[in-house]
Structure formats: C-alpha cells, structure tokens
Chains A and B, each alone.
Chain A
C-alpha cells in the first residue's frame, strides 16, 4: 500500500520535476518563464508524434527537446533582446503551445506510439521496499535521478554555475567582469525550455502512451509554483515535485478506497497549495527572504542606468 503510494508519487512527480528543473535554470539567469504549460504541451505532442512515426520513444524525447528549444528561443528573443514584459510573453507562450498542440494534435488523438516501459535494474531493484519504490520505473525517471544532483552541482559548485547565478543576481556587475549576460540568459532559457518539454513528453510517452488535447492539465503552472517552493534548488525541487505528485495521486487513491471526503476538496489540494505559494512569492520582501534571484523579471540593457 505505502509502496504503491510512493511509486505513484514518483510517477506523478517526474513531469513536474523536469519542468521545475528547467525553470530553475531559466530563473537563476533572471528570466521568468510562465510558458511552462505551453512548452510541456508542445513537448508532449512532439514527443508523441516523433515516437509514433519512428517507433522510437528516445527519438520522441529528442523531438521534444528540439521543439522546447525552438519555442524557448523565440521566448528568449522576445524577453531578452526585445525586452518584452516576461509575464505577458510567458502567458502568450502558454497560449501558443496550447493552441498549436491542440490544432496539430487533432490527427494524433487515438493513435499509438512506442512508449517507455519500466526497466529492471539488477541489484538495485531487488532491495526490499526502496528497490520497488525507486527502481521500478522507466528510463526517463532514472534520467531525472541523475539530472537532479548534476544540476545542483553545476549551479552551486562550478564556475559556469556561478556565472549563471551572477547574471541572475546582478547582471550589471556580471557584465562588468566580462560575463555575457545575453549569451547566458539565452543559453539557460533554451536549456530550461528543453527540459520542460521533456517533462511534457513524459506524459505522452511514459506516464500514459497517448496524446490528448491539453493533457498537461495545469502541471506547467504547478511547476512554476514548485520552483519557488524549492527555493531555486534542484535537490529541493526533487522533494517538492514528489510531494506534489504524492498529494495528487494520494487524493485519487483515497477516493478509490471509498473514504467519505468530498472529492471536490481532495481535488483542490494541489491547486490550493499552488495558489498559496504563488501568492507568497508576489510580495517582494518574501521573494528576497527565500532567496529569489534579485534580477528576476528585470530585462537587462547595457544603456540603462539605475
């Protein structure tokens, strides 16, 4: 029973984790990307379509990476070069992703594609309880296990990570010491978009194996909240994602067991939590306290002086 709940938490948390990781990179460089929902949808469809055509789920992931990269390149151009308001551009990206995927996806509803299935890992999968909970998943889950500590190490322990954080904290100073603010922001916004799109592809290639219009069902927004919840730290992002995934699947399980709590209340849980977190972050003081990148949402321009 407990085993099944933890397993479900990881399954449901993995798409959130990819999106949260991606957004951490983008936000660490000082760019808020509210387009996660759109990127995930685009990734979910692209991943599914490529896998449908080529019969290779890995090529599907590659397709998701590509579309995530292209869309966030557009987003980067708008917000970094054109200095468009990031909230507005992010919402636009969400609508674009939802609209495009809905339109082009119509032909793929009800189709099948090659999907990821759980892989047994010798020794690890045999450990009682933990083996079942952690090591009875598909390759994309295992990949995320590796990506999390790697991202943490990269952001906090390497020179490149320091540059990234410097650009997000104080782009002017970073510029003065010879770090290219634009290059770095472009790089991490694109990288972030690619990871987010893989989160979407997880939904259509591993969690289920189908394409459905709007199948992300608000997960992109939850990921935006999770970034704050995790205080821009990949390790905490892992816990936060699994926690949210756990809450979401636990409520389904409670219902299925026939416990008499209103299903409306239970279904509200993850979203209520999201609203609370997002309201907290909207205050400037709170953002500083939990360590938000100082230059977040502030477009950088060399000519401008404060």
Chain B
C-alpha cells in the first residue's frame, strides 16, 4: 500500500513536471489600488493575461489590500512563482528588498527602476510620448505658441518635455510654421490652484495648447482651459476618463502598461529571463494617443498623415528623439520628407 502511494506520488510529480516544463508561471502582485483601479494594476493584469493565453503561461494574481502586505505578498509570490510581476514606483522599494531576500527568484518591475541582477525593469521612453504630443500641439495651434506645465521636475517629466519640444520643432519646420514653446513648473503634484494660475498666465500670453505633466496639479490646468474657453486646449498624460470628458481636453498620451507587461513576458518566453532595463517607445507600441471629439475638428487628413510619417521616422530609428537638454539643443528634424 505504501509503495503504491509512493509510485502514485511519483507519477503525479512527473505529470506536473511535464505539464509545466513547456512554460513557466507568473504571479502578479497588485498594489493597494487592486484590480479594477482602471489604471496600473488593470493594465498590467491585462498584459499578463494576454501573454498567458499566447505562451501557455500560468498566471495568478495576488491582491494587496494594505501597504504592510506588500513584502509578504511579494515574498509569497517569490516562493510560489517562477516570475513575480509588480508595477509602479510605490512598490519599487519593496521589490528591491524582496530581490535581495530571494536572490534566486525572478522579478519583473513595470514602470519603476531598481538595480538588481534578478529584476527586469520595463520603463517607457517618455521622450517619444512627448514627441507625439508635440506633433499634435504644433498641428493644432493657431497662435503659434504652445506650452507645457510640469508638476514636479523629475527626470521622467523632463523627458516628456524634451520630446514635446522636439515634436513641436519637427512638425513646425516641416510645415514652415513658426511655433514657440513656453513652459512652467508648479513645484508640487497636488496644487491645482497653482496649476490653474500658471496655465492662465500661459494662455494670457497667447498660448493655445498646453501639454501638462503635472499629476493632480494638472486638474488646475484643465480647469484654466475650461474657464478661458475658446481656443485654449490641454493635452495630458494618462488622464482619467472623467478629466478627459471635462471639456477643452484634446487628447491624452497614455503609457501602455499592458504592452509593457506582455512584452516582458514574451521576452522571457523566447529567450529566458534576463535582468536589466528595457524601455518601450513608439516602435514597441508603448504609447497611445487617446483622443477626444474636440481634437478631430482641428486636424485635417494632411495633418494626420504628417504626424504619422514623423512618428514613422522615429519608429524606423531614422529620427532619434532627444531625452536631455543637450540632445534637444542638437536635435535637427528633417526639413522635408
């Protein structure tokens, strides 16, 4: 009888081993936002599920209900899963700790950066998202002045800005249009009052499109545009649908977290796990332009074609979007296509 159990057990293990030999399993640990946040967690889970279907990966989600649970949940993930997937800056400290505690486990961290050999970080080429926004802004402006409002001067936000300026320059040189860029910094991510004040002064100087990378201070930018009415428009980054619909918003550049999650798993499936950093840009489909109805009225088919062709240059690697002030100073867009 005992023998039978051992044999049966052995068999079971063998079966299990065979079935999982083809692929691996992934555990996705959410932050307190949890599934249904309509944001980072949902996006990431979407990408994981897509990869799971395509590559025959087993995927499971562990939801964190309190911040204190982060480390415990990620540790659980490290014990149970081959790959632990985590998203967001808020989780990065915990992932760094877990990566040290479980040096043999493998982690994927989306949209945050830590330096550990067993962590694969997936970031975005913000400059390319900003570039897209700049193309749109330059196409829409009637006054020849566009602006940007930054909440906190982080390197991420600044890459958006450098790309934006490059986009404006690229489009306007092709069109022979003269477009100036003015910008300002709020200094915090939650002061809508200041965000509004600074945008009003931009609009007062004739700026008619403002690109805002200002977190919740950005709500003030949108309110300023709404209050001024007429040709005062806003382009945002990762805007909530509610803000999108609140009037005078042209579009939002959204970072495709689902694509990031999907591609990272695809890489692992094809070539095994490798730690390090990868950054997604236009070529990888790392960004999307979510439009409102207002934008359509301002772009002719010719404008749209031009935007697509300039984006195409970036995708083909012909045009490199600047990600620093020095690169921006040296950036020379094509004079004709």
List the interface of chain A (C-beta within 8 A of B). Answer: 4, 8, 11-12, 110, 203, 207-210, 212-215, 217, 248-249, 252-253, 255-258, 263-264, 267
Contact = CB atoms under 8 A, between A and B. Distances in A.
Given A256-B182, A263-B184, 20 more contacts: A8-B200, A12-B197, A110-B219, A207-B193, A209-B223, A210-B192, A213-B216, A249-B194, A252-B201, A253-B198, A255-B183, A255-B184, A256-B147, A256-B183, A256-B198, A256-B201, A256-B202, A263-B153, A263-B185, A267-B187
A115 B32 CA distance: 33
Given A208-B193, A249-B197, A252-B201, A267 B223 contact: no
Contacts of B194: 217, 248-249, 252
Contacts of B184: 252, 255-256, 263
A244 B112 CA distance: 37
Contacts of B240: 110
Closest 3 pairs between A and B when the two form their complex, measured CB to CB: A255-B184, A267-B187, A252-B198
Interface in B239-258: 240, 242-243
Contacts, number: 76
16 contacts: A11-B197, A12-B197, A110-B242, A207-B193, A208-B223, A215-B193, A252-B198, A253-B198, A255-B183, A256-B198, A257-B182, A257-B201, A257-B205, A263-B184, A263-B185, A264-B153
B47 interface: no
Interface in B184-238: 184-188, 190-194, 196-198, 200-202, 204-205, 216, 219-220, 223
A214 B190 contact: yes
Contacts of B219: 110, 208, 210, 212
Contacts of A8: 197, 200-201
A14 to B, nearest CB: 11
Interface residues of B, number: 29
B119 to A, nearest CB: 30
Given A209-B223, A210-B223, A258 B190 contact: no
A263 B190 contact: no
A217 B152 CA distance: 13
Nearest to A115: B223
Most buried by B among A4, A255, A257: A255
A11 B188 CA distance: 19
Contact of B192 (A208, A248, A257): A208
A214 B191 CA distance: 8
A217 B191 contact: yes
A267 to B, nearest CB: 4
Interface string B158-195: 00000000000000000000000011111110111110
A256 B243 CA distance: 23
A249 B216 CA distance: 18
A217 B188 contact: yes
Nearest to B195: A208
Contacts of B191: 215, 217
Nearest to B190: A214
Nearest to A110: B242
A11 B129 CA distance: 35
B131 to A, nearest CB: 21
A122 B16 CA distance: 84
A207 B197 CA distance: 9
Contacts of B200: 8
Contacts of A217: 188, 190-191, 193-194
B182 A215 contact: no
Contacts of A207: 193, 196
Given A212-B219, A213-B216, A263-B187, A4 B192 contact: no
A258 B182 contact: yes
A252 B197 contact: yes
Contacts of A212: 190, 192, 216, 219
A267 B205 CA distance: 21
B198 A203 contact: no
A249 B240 CA distance: 27
Contacts of B182: 256-258
Nearest to B246: A112
Contacts of A256: 147, 182-184, 198, 201-202, 205
Contacts of A252: 184, 186, 194, 197-198, 201
